[in-house]
């Protein structure tokens, strides 16, 4: 059935009050505001239509005329954006229709699982203008997706109205909703024609803060989800685990079916067998990380191994099947990723636990693996699947309660930066080697997955340039480990660093921590609203060697600095050997979520650390020999 825009989403002439509007009473100084936001969702037609009407108040607000419409094109969502139309209403009421080009942009990419956007810019926008635009989202009709109305935006919303027509399965599924941070008394209502409707006025702008939990977790929102109508909510997870158990164990099959494939992988020890099995799983072509996957889903693990490919969940289950065939104790874990939302057991929504990892017990110790993520290091799972609630899938023994698994430590995500530099006038010249292990290596591999060499090279060069002030010349000379799970990622560069060294009369000054010469405190604000969220524990280790010219020598070496705040650690020291100065620095963050009440202590730690990093090393004329 064709679904189109509702009448409420039609473009309309501006009112005199809208043209005269200069700001928002409850948000003084705001650069723009959403006058009207109307969203119509139809799960039966796998369709959504949105309409926006935005008033621009200042030069800064003109950026809202650059529109991005995110969508998820990858299988199985197969989302697309259609029927885009837009126009500008000038301060005098003149209408300027949009007739420009719509572009396709990559917002985020992790293999095939990319987030893209349709982008376009409205012309002639100025303070006092009103912009209107609308579009439609469509997705695979084979999917029954939950719906999220994330109410807050970065500018105020004066009026929002949403409606949802849920999927009608004649009683097979029930639709439910939960809500978070909504004003008292404002929740969706059910209409006579079984739609959900919701209306809200004067919504404040969302306060974005660096290192905060996912915005979708913090914003005022309404979540719709489906569950079978035959399941009581309090029994949902136990029942759902039984559903997963049947499907996953059925896919894995009996160990005997894979014994011939597993036999060559069996090593002298269980650990050797496990390493061989993991390498085999990583060698399988992963269709979940292809730009345009064309393969159908496999029926079982034997089928995956026979054809040498599969989707992420299929490869994960095949790894478990192969491990069992090799005599190991292995299970699939259904997990709740924490990159968009945090798991809530009170919400009976199976999409919360939409991913899988694997657990293998060796010598009495349980290890966690992520074979469904290409190039994931042995024993490391992608960060969003670490330290999360999970259900262990075991045939005939469905778990009733989730258990947190796959905790990681700073040693599981390390960046090591070493520099061998010489001071030449007002520049530092030499080489840099950056080594990324564990989670840090995986992030950079996925960032460049499916990219060509030139794009990959630029990404690494841009990352290193960002460590230094403007004017740095960075050239990648060698890159290894970007296509394999078995090695660290190592990048070597030739560099010339400008604007790091400065002159102060007859003295020359450089920061002792060259890599941190332009860093700023990410927690500079005096107050904090949201908790502090680190994606994963991590460690950073730096070693910088600077060879001085014969004419210069340090006036004095800075004293070492050591900070110990429990979950946060910092250490630096500077040594001299003839004309060579060596600076070593180590930082460690062993935390995920820090509540805002501890912000003052965290802010102070980072302030002291950055001051120590940027402590000046003063060079004076070397004494005559």
Q: pLDDT by residue (tens digit) across 271-298? A: 999 999 999 999 999 998 887 666 788 8
Which segments within 157-298 are labelled E, that is strand? 157-165, 173-180, 189-190, 196-203, 221-228, 285-286
Q: Say if strands 221-228 and 173-180 run parallel, antiparallel, or are unpaired.
A: antiparallel
Q: Give, in degrees to the nearest 5, the angle at Cα 244 between 240 and 247.
A: 140
Mapping DSSP to helix (H, G, I), strand (E, B) and coil, where does residue 210 land?
Answer: coil
- Indicate whether 395 pLDDT > 90: no
Report the alpha-carbon distance of residue 53 to residue 318 in Å, rounded.
50
* Residue pointed to by tokens 């809202």: 64
SS3 content of the chain, % helix, strand, coil (to 5): 20, 35, 40
Report the alpha-carbon distance of residue 418 to residue 573 in Å, rounded.
15
Asked if 342 and 223 touch (Cβ cutoff 8 Å), the reply is: no
- Indicate whether 106 pLDDT > 90: no
Write out the two tokens for 422: 């010489």
- The radius of gyration of the chain from alpha carbons, rounded to an integer in Å, stands at 28
77 vs 343, which has greater pLDDT? 343
Report the alpha-carbon distance of residue 440 to residue 437 in Å, rounded.
6
The DSSP 8-state label assigned to residue 280 in this structure reads H
Quick one: pLDDT at residue 1?
40
Among 35, 111, 65, residue whose Cα is nearest residue 375 = 111
Q: How confident is the model at residue 109 (pLDDT cuts 50, 70, 90)?
A: low
Q: Say if strands 616-621 and 538-547 run parallel, antiparallel, or are unpaired.
A: unpaired
Quick one: pLDDT at residue 456?
96
Report the alpha-carbon distance of residue 569 to residue 608 in Å, rounded.
12
How many residues in total does the chain contain? Answer: 625
Q: Taking residues 92-107, what's their average pLDDT? A: 91
Report the alpha-carbon distance of residue 27 to residue 31 in Å, rounded.
10
Q: Provide the 10 A C-beta neighbour count for residue 206.
A: 18
Per cent of the chain over pLDDT 70 is 96
Report the alpha-carbon distance of residue 496 to residue 422 in Å, rounded.
10
Report the alpha-carbon distance of residue 350 to residue 356 in Å, rounded.
13
Asked if 391 and 397 touch (Cβ cutoff 8 Å), the reply is: no
Helix (H) or strand (E) holding 508: strand 507-511
Asked if 545 and 581 touch (Cβ cutoff 8 Å), the reply is: yes
Mapping DSSP to helix (H, G, I), strand (E, B) and coil, where does residue 204 land?
Answer: coil
At 601-615, the pLDDT tens digits run 999 999 999 999 999
Report the alpha-carbon distance of residue 495 to residue 428 in Å, rounded.
8
At 578-598, the pLDDT tens digits run 999 999 999 999 999 999 999
Write out the two tokens for 585: 């620095």
Quick one: pLDDT at residue 113?
60
* DSSP per-residue string spanning 524-552: -SS---SPEE-SS-EEEEEEEEEEPPTTE
Among 198, 90, 213, 95, residue whose Cα is nearest residue 151 = 198
Report the alpha-carbon distance of residue 136 to residue 36 in Å, rounded.
17
Through-space distance between the first and last CA atoms of the chain, rounded to whole angstroms: 91
Quick one: pLDDT at residue 285?
95
Go through the domains of the chain in sequence order and give each one's CATH number: 7-228 (2.60.40.3140), 233-407 (3.10.620.30), 411-621 (2.60.120.1130)
Preceding omega of 230 cis (within 30 degrees of 0)? no
Write out the two tokens for 602: 């965290």
- Indicate whether 376 pLDDT > 60: yes
At 51-97, the pLDDT tens digits run 999 999 999 999 999 999 998 887 677 888 999 999 999 999 999 99
Write out the two tokens for 31: 């650069």
Least confident of 23-32, 167-176, 273-282, 294-303: 167-176
The DSSP 8-state label assigned to residue 430 in this structure reads E
Q: How far is CA 54 from CA 70, 88, 131, 133, 466, in A?
A: 18, 10, 5, 9, 35
Mean pLDDT value across the chain: 92
Strand-pair partners of 201: 159
* Residue pointed to by tokens 């024993």: 379
235: Cβ contacts below 8 Å, ≥ 6 apart? none
465 vs 296, which has greater pLDDT? 465
2 vs 128, which has greater pLDDT? 128
- Indicate whether 463 pLDDT > 90: yes
Q: Is 622 exposed, middle or buried (0-12, 13-18, 19+ CB in 10 A)?
A: middle
Asked if 531 and 594 touch (Cβ cutoff 8 Å), the reply is: yes
Report the alpha-carbon distance of residue 491 to residue 351 in Å, rounded.
38
Quick one: pLDDT at residue 396?
76
Quick one: pLDDT at residue 234?
77
């Amino acid at each position: 059935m064709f679904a189109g825009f509702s009448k409420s989403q039609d473009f309309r002439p501006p009112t005199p009050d809208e043209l005269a509007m200069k700001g928002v009473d409850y948000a003084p100084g705001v650069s723009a505001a959403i006058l009207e936001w109307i969203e119509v969702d139809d799960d039966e037609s796998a369709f959504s239509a949105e309409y926006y009407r935005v008033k621009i108040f200042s030069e800064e607000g003109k950026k809202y005329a650059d529109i991005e419409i995110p969508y998820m094109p990858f299988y199985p969502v197969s989302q697309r954006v259609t029927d885009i139309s837009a126009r500008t209403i000038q301060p005098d009421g003149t209408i300027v229709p949009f007739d420009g080009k719509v572009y396709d942009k990559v917002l985020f990419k992790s293999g095939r699982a990319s987030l893209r956007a349709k982008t376009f810019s409205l012309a002639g926008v100025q303070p006092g203008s009103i912009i209107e635009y609308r579009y439609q989202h469509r997705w695979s009709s084979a999917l029954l997706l939950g719906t999220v109305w994330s109410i807050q935006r970065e500018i105020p919303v004066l009026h929002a109205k949403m409606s949802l027509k849920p999927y009608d399965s004649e009683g097979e599924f029930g639709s439910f909703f939960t809500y978070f941070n909504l004003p008292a008394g404002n929740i969706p209502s059910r209409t006579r024609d079984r739609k959900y409707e919701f209306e809200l006025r004067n919504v404040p702008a969302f306060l974005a803060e660096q290192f905060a939990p996912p915005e979708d977790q913090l914003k005022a929102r309404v979540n719709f989800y489906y569950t079978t109508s035959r399941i009581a909510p309090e029994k949902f997870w136990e029942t759902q685990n039984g559903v997963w158990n049947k499907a996953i164990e059925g896919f894995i099959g009996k160990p005997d079916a894979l014994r011939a494939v597993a036999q060559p992988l069996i090593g002298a020890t269980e650990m050797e067998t496990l390493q061989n099995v993991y390498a085999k799983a990583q060698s399988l072509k992963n269709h979940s990380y292809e730009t345009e996957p064309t393969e159908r889903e496999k029926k079982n693990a034997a089928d995956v191994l026979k054809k040498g490919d599969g989707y992420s969940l299929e490869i994960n289950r095949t790894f478990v099947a192969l491990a069992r065939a090799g005599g190991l104790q292995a299970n699939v874990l259904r997990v709740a990723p924490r990159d968009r939302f945090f798991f809530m057991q009170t919400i009976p929504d199976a999409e919360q636990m939409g991913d899988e990892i694997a657990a293998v017990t060796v010598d009495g110790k349980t290890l966690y693996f992520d074979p469904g993520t290409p190039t994931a290091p042995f024993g490391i799972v992608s960060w969003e699947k670490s330290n999360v609630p999970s259900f262990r899938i075991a045939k005939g023994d469905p778990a009733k309660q989730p258990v947190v698994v796959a905790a990681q430590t700073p040693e599981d995500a390390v960046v090591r930066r070493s520099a061998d530099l010489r001071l030449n006038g007002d520049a530092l010249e030499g080489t840099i080697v950056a080594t990324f292990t564990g989670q840090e290596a995986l992030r950079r591999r996925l960032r460049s997955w499916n990219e060509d060499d030139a794009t990959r090279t630029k990404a690494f060069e841009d990352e290193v340039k960002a460590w230094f002030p403007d004017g740095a010349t960075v050239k990648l000379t060698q890159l290894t480990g970007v296509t394999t799970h078995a090695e660290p990622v190592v990048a070597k560069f030739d560099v010339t660093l400008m604007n790091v060294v400065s002159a102060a009369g007859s003295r020359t000054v450089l920061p002792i921590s060259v890599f941190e010469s332009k860093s700023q405190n990410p927690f500079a604000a005096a107050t904090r609203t949201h908790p502090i969220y680190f994606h994963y524990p991590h460690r950073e280790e730096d070693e910088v060697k600077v060879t001085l010219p014969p004419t210069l020598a340090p006036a004095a070496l800075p004293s070492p600095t050591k900070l110990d705040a429990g979950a946060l650690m910092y250490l630096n020291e500077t040594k001299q050997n003839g004309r060579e100065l060596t600076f070593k620095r180590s930082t460690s963050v062993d935390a995920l979520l820090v509540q805002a009440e501890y912000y003052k202590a965290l802010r102070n730690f980072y302030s002291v650390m950055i001051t120590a990093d940027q402590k000046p090393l003063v060079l004076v004329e070397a004494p005559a020999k």
